[in-house]
Amino acid sequence: PFVDIFFYEQNQTHLWTLLNPDKPFQTKYIFPLILRPLGYLWVPAPRKPKRLIKFDPFVECKTNFWNHRTESYQKPVTVQCNRLKDIYPFVEPNKKKEWIEILKINNTIIHTVVFTL
């Protein structure tokens, strides 16, 4: 996993990166930030990331065009996430009264995080 950091500007309702000002995001999907697990760390993250991504991250798994390990371009690849669930840990969302994220690999629960809505 990786974390991208961007400089941004915002107004009352939207936020946009300085590199891509023509694609603003609604701030209500970002703030207030919540802590989410990233490996062994807990890092501040957008409140509703599914509203910011143009594909369903629980159905389609996509690589990025930028390889952070080599700092170079790579051809993006898309596969169905269910083909990878026995190999890699995945978060399974469960939205009821609160948002529950369950990190699993091969039906074994690694941890569970509960967010109040």
Token couple for 63: 């690589």
Do 80 and 117 lie in one domain? The reply is no
Domain that holds residue 30: 1-53
The answer to whether 112 and 99 have CB atoms below 8 angstroms apart is no
Instruction: Please work out, in degrees rounded to the nearest 5, the angle formed at the alpha carbon of residue 48 by the alpha carbons of 66 and 88.
Output: 50
At 80 the pLDDT is 92
pLDDT of 98 over the 80 cut: no
At 95 the pLDDT is 66
- 23/40 Cα distance (integer angstroms): 32
CA dihedral 31, 36, 39, 43 (to 10 degrees): 40
Kindly tell me the burial class for residue 68, based on how many C-beta atoms sit within 10 Å of its own C-beta (0-12, 13-18, 19 or more).
Answer: exposed
Provide the whole-model pTM: 0.66
Do 47 and 4 lie in one domain? The reply is yes
Q: What percent of the chain has pLDDT over 70?
A: 91
Do 65 and 113 lie in one domain? The reply is no
